[in-house]
Amino acid sequence: MAARYTKDHEWVRVEGDVATCGISVFAAEQLGDVVYVELPAVGRQVEQGGEMAVVESAKAASDVYAPVTGEIIAVNDALTSNPEKVNEGPEGEGWFVKIQLTKPGEVDALMDEAAYAAFAKA
């Protein structure tokens, strides 16, 4: 399915009942050069809108919030040694986590690409 976006600039792409999540191209551009990513432990339960990860650019640390509720079933370990992947492909190779959805309906309320583009520009 196509990506959906949160107001906090996370994206989520759902296949079956698993959501792959990361930060948007817009967010990565705003951050500038990412130098560190702190990912949650596999098995952790996250709530939509709750703290999930931390991304640090050269100048500041920013929280990344869970776009959906569920269990972390995988994290992108490559970001630990190569945080620049977040800048190179924020909505591709720079994904953060995979979440096993417990409230699939939450996804429908997120913005689609057109709505998010308008939101990010505002």
Partner 1 sequence: MGERTGSLKHLPLDALWRASAKKFGDFAGYDMPLEFEGLIPEHHWTRTQAGLFDVSHMGPCFFALPKGHGLEGDAAHRAVAAIIEELVPGDIQGLKPGQVRYTTLLNASGGCLDDLMIARPAEPGAAGDLYIVVNAGTKEQDFALIAQAAAGRANLVRADDRCLLALQGPAAEAVARAVISDDLGAISFMQVKRFDAFGRLTITRSGYTGEDGFEILVRAEHAGALAAALLADERVKPIGLGARDSLRLEAGLCLYGHELDETISPIEADLAWIIQKRRRALGDFPGGARILEEIAEGPTRRRIGIRPLERAPARDGVEIHKDGRKVGVVTSGGFSPILNAPISMGYVETALAVPGTRIDLMVRGTARPAEIVALPFVPHRYRKG
**Token couple for 82:** 């190569």
Q: How far is CA 97 from CA 55, 64, 66, 115, in A?
A: 13, 11, 9, 23
- Closer Cβ to partner 1, 1 or 60, answer by number: 60
Nearest approach, Cβ of 42 to partner 1 (angstroms)?
Answer: 16
β-strands 70-75, 45-46 pairing: antiparallel
Mapped onto helix, strand or coil, the DSSP state of residue 88 is: helix
- Closer Cβ to partner 1, 32 or 103, answer by number: 32
Nearest approach, Cβ of 64 to partner 1 (angstroms)?
Answer: 13
Nearest approach, Cβ of 56 to partner 1 (angstroms)?
Answer: 5
Q: Which residues bind partner 1 (CB under 8 A)?
A: 32-33, 35-36, 38, 54, 56-61, 80, 83
* Spatial distance between the Cα atoms of 17 and 122, rounded to a whole number of angstroms: 32
Residues 75, 49 contacting (CB under 8 angstroms)? no
- Closer Cβ to partner 1, 3 or 31, answer by number: 31
Nearest approach, Cβ of 62 to partner 1 (angstroms)?
Answer: 12
